[in-house]
Amino acid sequence: MDSIMAPGRMEYITGKKPDGCVFCGGSAREEDLVLYEGKSCYIMMNKYPYTSGHLLVIPFRHICDIEETNAEEKMEMMQLTDICVRTLKKAFTPEGFNIGLNLGKAAGAGVEDHLHIHVVPRWLGDTNFTTVLGEVRVIPEDIIMTRNTLLQYFQRREER
């Protein structure tokens, strides 16, 4: 039988969960996972990604439902989602994307008290039996390497 090592997964399963909101607190900035900040929303890497380059678009305001967003937040969330797609296309040449919101625990929200959009780059063959049978995700690249690749693209955007 083959074994697949996914050491980052154990940290998620057994690690201490932070007090309060993971998006409002300083942990994302401390770990340098924030790639871009807009006026009302920001882009952050998912600490526990489905695949390399999995990004989140998050309003600064602590809100949990799309109905609570104002016009500026709605507009900027879509603009930043567009920036994510364009940046990921340049950086990693994915063959497709999954983009979506998980509203509520029943819908699969891991962080149900703070609204966020998932932007997940996809490639043919990037998923297989391991996720279904082994409850393991195979991430082909270390998160810091992914961050360093993406950060250069986001920094170029800010220089314009």
Cite the active site residues: 116
Strands in 96-100's sheet, in edge-to-edge order, are: 34-37, 41-45, 55-59, 117-122, 96-100
Distance CA 27, CA 22 (A): 7
DSSP 104: S
Cα-Cα-Cα-Cα torsion 73, 106, 19, 44, nearest 10 degrees, comes to: -40
Tokens of 25: 């607190």
